[in-house]
Amino acid sequence: ETGVTQTPRHLVMGMTNKKSLKCEQHLGHNAMYWYKQSAKKPLELMFVYNFKEQTENNSVPSRFSPECPNSSHLFLHLHTLQPEDSALYLCASSQDPVSPRGPSGEQYFGPGTRLTVT
């Protein structure tokens, strides 16, 4: 058990649906991350939140909308997705405050949400 939970674990949605992915960390960390892994591709950073403030948006399309109401919870709101958005979405957290030009500590990952867009 990693201390980072994600729900749901599997999600099938149509292109016109609106859904949300939820991530919760029980580790008291300050930073939270969304990653995407498409088939046969490396993990790709999407968003970074540091003390509830978004510090990074890695050129992610606006159909993905993150929300971080507090340091323990992170959401990814999905709307009008495309079939090519089907992927594994992973959440992670880390203790260290996020700062440019500074190394971060190890990240703790959730199990991911397997998303299929039909």
Partner 1 sequence: ILNVEQSPQSLHVQEGDSTNFTCSFPSSNFYALHWYRWETAKSPEALFVMTLNGDEKKKGRISATLNTKEGYSYLYIKGSQPEDSATYLCAFGDYKLSFGAGTTVTVRA
44 lies in the binding site for partner 1 (CB under 8 A): yes
Q: How far is CA 98 from the centre of its chain?
A: 16
Q: Which two tokens stand for residue 57?
A: 């948006």
Which amino acid is present at 109?
F
Stretch that binds partner 1, among 12-20, 21-29, 52-60, 71-79 (CB under 8 A): 52-60
Cα–Cα distance measured from residue 81 to residue 17, given in angstroms and rounded to the nearest whole number = 8
For 27, what's the count of Cα atoms within 13 Å in the CB-facing half-sphere?
Answer: 22
60 belongs to the binding site for partner 1 (CB under 8 A)? no
> Rounded to an integer, what distance in angstroms lies between the CA atom of residue 72 and that of residue 28?
7
43 binds partner 1 (CB under 8 A): yes
Instruction: Decide whether 84 or 101 has the Cβ nearer to partner 1.
Output: 101
User: Which of 110, 113, 115, 117 forms a contact with partner 1 (CB under 8 A)?
Assistant: 110
Neighbouring CB atoms inside 10 A of 81's CB total: 21
Among 48, 68, 81, 117, binds partner 1 (CB under 8 A): 48
Residues of this chain that interact with partner 1 (CB under 8 A) are 2, 4, 31, 40-45, 48, 50, 55-56, 58, 90, 92, 94, 96, 98-112
